[in-house]
Amino acid sequence: MAITSVPPGQPSAARAAIGQSVAARLDADPRMTRLPSETIQAYRSFDFLDGATCDHLIALIERRRRPSTLLSDNGQGANRTSESCDMDRNASDIRAIDERIASALGLDPAHGETMQGQRYAPGQHFRTHHDYFHEGESYWPQMRASGGQRTWTAMIYLNDVEEGGATWFPQGGVRASPRRGMLLTWNNMEADGRPNTRTLHEGMPVVEGVKYIVTKWFREHPWVMRQA
Ligand SMILES: O=C(O)CCC(=O)C(=O)O
Ligand SMILES: [Fe+2]
């Protein structure tokens, strides 16, 4: 179909520079391990958050969860069946975690969208998708004005899951199983700063247990919060 041949975005020197500086910082951090992949730039860090902090975030998600929504409803409405909530970026506990994530990546916390919590019950999943914005979609002008493209994604698993719930990059050759406190982060861009289509990924269905994560998406420019 014609639409799939439209490139999701153009090269960008500024995004390329962000990719390089974050990767250099992660490479120099002994807590971080680069995941083997020819096509994507992804890292993990065990015990990035301690158990008490994970429990605290799980309790917040339990209190505030609501069915997840997707940015564009182009027939993908059933793609994300988890429940989500926005974390309060002005609360001191959340701000401290935001700053920890941003500092690990060497990014300004102001570029981060509000941290999102997600809860997946058995059978719930997040089907294959890209985190970056397709610059040909109708939502792009609004996204460009509110901070531009999403560069790095950082997600943290808040618990071990009995079975299922891995994050899978079928074209990246990476599959991460949930592990309490583990950070998984990846660059959504190519080396030249264009969206990397091979970052396609999926939150696989939970088979047994409940999966809790927090996700943070960083923009190329400071993020402008949408007015409620
Ligand atoms: O649940 C997962 O493992 C993936 C979540 C994800 O892809 C996202 O929040 O963008
Ligand atoms: Fe994602």
Q: Identity (one letter) of the amino acid at 30?
A: P
| Alpha carbon of 162 to ligand 1 centroid (Å) | 18
Query: In angstroms, what is the span from residue 126 Cα to ligand 2's centroid?
Result: 8
Note the pLDDT of residue 4: 59
- The CA–CA distances, whole Å, from 67 to 57, 85, 124 equal 18, 9, 11
**Cα 130 to Cα 123, 152, 217, distances in angstroms:** 21, 12, 12
| Contact status, residue 149 vs residue 195, Cβ threshold 8 Å | yes
Which atom in ligand 1 lies closest to the alpha carbon of residue 166?
Answer: 3
For position 221, what pLDDT does the model report? Answer: 98
Contact residues for 51 (Cβ-Cβ < 8 A; gap 6+): 180, 181
- Nearest bound ligand to the CA of residue 175: 1
83 ligand 1 Cβ < 6 A = no
Cβ-contact 98, 112 below 8 angstroms? yes
Whether 195 contacts 129, CB under 8 Å: no
Token pair in block for residue 105: 């990546």
Tens-binned pLDDT, residue by residue, of the chain (228 aa): 445 568 899 999 999 999 999 999 999 999 999 999 999 999 999 999 999 999 999 999 999 888 776 654 443 445 888 899 999 999 999 999 999 999 999 999 999 999 999 999 999 999 999 999 999 999 999 999 999 999 999 999 999 999 999 999 999 999 999 999 999 999 999 999 999 999 999 999 999 999 999 999 999 999 998 754
- The answer to whether the CB of 215 is under 6 A from ligand 1 is yes
Judge if the beta carbon of residue 125 lies within 6 A of ligand 1: no
Question: How many angstroms separate the alpha carbon of residue 119 from the centre of ligand 1?
Answer: 10
131 lines ligand 1 (CB under 6 A): yes
Contact between 38 and 173 (Cβ < 8 Å): yes
Cα of 127 to ligand 2 centre, how many Å?
9
80 CA → ligand 1 middle, Å: 9
Distance CA 92, CA 100 (A): 12
Ligand number nearest CA of 188 is 2
Q: What is the pLDDT of residue 94?
A: 97
Please, where are the H alpha helices in the chain? Answer: 13-27, 51-64, 92-105, 140-145
pLDDT for 227 equals 57
Superfamily name with CATH number, domain 9-219 = q2cbj1_9rhob like domain (2.60.120.620)
pTM: 0.94
Ligand 1 atom 2: the closest Cα is on which residue?
203
The answer to whether 94 and 216 have CB atoms below 8 angstroms apart is no
Q: Give 50 Cα–ligand 2 centroid separation in angstroms.
A: 23
Atom of ligand 1 nearest to the CA of 82: 1
Strands (E), 71-205: 83-86, 116-120, 126-129, 150-157, 163-164, 167-169, 174-176, 183-187, 201-203
ipTM of the complex: 0.99
Domain boundaries, the chain: 9-219
CB 190 within 8 A of CB 150: no
